[in-house]
């Protein structure tokens, strides 16, 4: 087994820091459908889409995204989303890929270079192949279940355990993810996004393809990099 390597971040050029993902006024977010669904629960509601659209953000939804929660494609379309038939169309059209579940290997292979992903990440089912794909494509990725409250508990898990009805869970999920996505979509770099919403730093697990969390690197016997000073050095 190769020795685990901690690689302190290399000096980055101004373009690396501020131009990793230069966004326009029309940043686009694509929502992928989950494979395992719970009746009545969706990551985002049509009301959420309507609020996001008001910020001039382009929204793509995979067909039948919310059907298990009684949200039709027409509901999302009327709220301002564009509907795409499959994962490939979503990935082709969106800058930021969002899913409640972890991405599958098939979905990871579809990713375009330097895209951003926001999803869950099950550390018990991690694979080297998944992270090799992210590395090859310079993907920056955030894990929703890594964001914790002041007591160190996963906010995502708390939503599912605390709320009593599927409708309440959907509302809480939408409220949870909205500020995260706005911070990403409405700033001109990942550094600015993280400084706008520090919860994103908690959830960051790859930056430009490099693993940023030691526990993931140890589990997979892969190198990792500490980017703390890059994101928080305000000079």
**Per residue in 86-139, pLDDT tens?**
999 999 999 999 999 999 999 999 999 999 999 999 888 889 999 999 999 999
Contact 46, 76 (CB under 8 A): yes
Instruction: State the pLDDT at residue 135.
Output: 96
Burial 17-53 (b: 16+ CB within 10 A, else e): beebbebeeebbbbbbbbeebeeebbbbbbebbebbe
209: left (phi over 0), alpha (psi -120 to 50) or beta: left
**Out of 21-30, 63-72, 111-120, which region has the weakest mean confidence (pLDDT)?**
21-30
**Rounded average pLDDT over 179-189:** 90
Instruction: State the pLDDT at residue 27.
Output: 82
User: In degrees rounded to 5, what are phi and psi of residue 231?
Assistant: -80, -25
Residues 6+ apart with CB under 8 A from 215: 123
Give the tens place of pLDDT for each residue, 124-169.
888 999 999 999 999 999 999 999 999 999 999 999 998 889 999 9
Residue 44 binned pLDDT confidence (cut-offs 50, 70, 90): very high
Indicate yes or no: pTM above 0.75. Answer: yes
25-220 carries CATH number 3.40.50.720: yes
Domain boundaries, given as residue ranges, for the chain: 25-220
Residue 33 is classified by DSSP as P
The string of DSSP letters for 140-181 reads EEEEGGG-B-TTS-BHHHHHHHH--SHHHHHHHHHHHHHHHH
CA atoms of 114 and 135, how far apart (whole Å): 10
Percentage above 90 pLDDT, the chain: 70
CA atoms of 78 and 160, how far apart (whole Å): 28
CA atoms of 17 and 3, how far apart (whole Å): 29
């Amino acid at each position: 087994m190769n020795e685990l390597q901690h690689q302190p971040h290399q000096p980055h050029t101004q373009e690396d820091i501020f131009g990793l993902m230069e966004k326009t006024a029309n940043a686009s977010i694509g929502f992928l459908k989950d494979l395992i669904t719970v009746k009545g629960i969706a990551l985002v509601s049509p009301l959420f889409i309507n609020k996001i659209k008001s910020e001039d953000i382009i929204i793509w939804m995979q067909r039948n995204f919310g059907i298990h929660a009684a949200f039709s494609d027409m509901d999302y379309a009327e709220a301002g989303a564009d509907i795409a038939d499959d994962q490939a169309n979503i990935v082709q059209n969106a800058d930021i890929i969002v899913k409640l579940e972890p991405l599958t290997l098939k979905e990871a292979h579809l990713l375009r270079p330097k895209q951003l992903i926001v999803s869950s990440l099950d550390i018990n089912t991690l694979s080297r192949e998944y992270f090799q794909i992210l590395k090859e494509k310079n993907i920056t990725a955030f894990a929703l279940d890594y964001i914790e409250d002041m007591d160190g508990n996963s906010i995502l898990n708390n939503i599912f355990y605390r709320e009593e009805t599927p409708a309440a869970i959907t509302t809480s999920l939408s409220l949870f993810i909205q500020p995260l996505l706005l911070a990403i979509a409405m700033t001109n770099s990942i550094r600015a996004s993280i400084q706008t919403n520090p919860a994103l730093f908690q959830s960051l697990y790859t930056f430009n393809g490099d693993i940023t969390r030691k526990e993931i690197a140890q589990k997979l016997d892969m190198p990792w990099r500490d980017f703390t000073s890059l994101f928080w050095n305000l000079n």
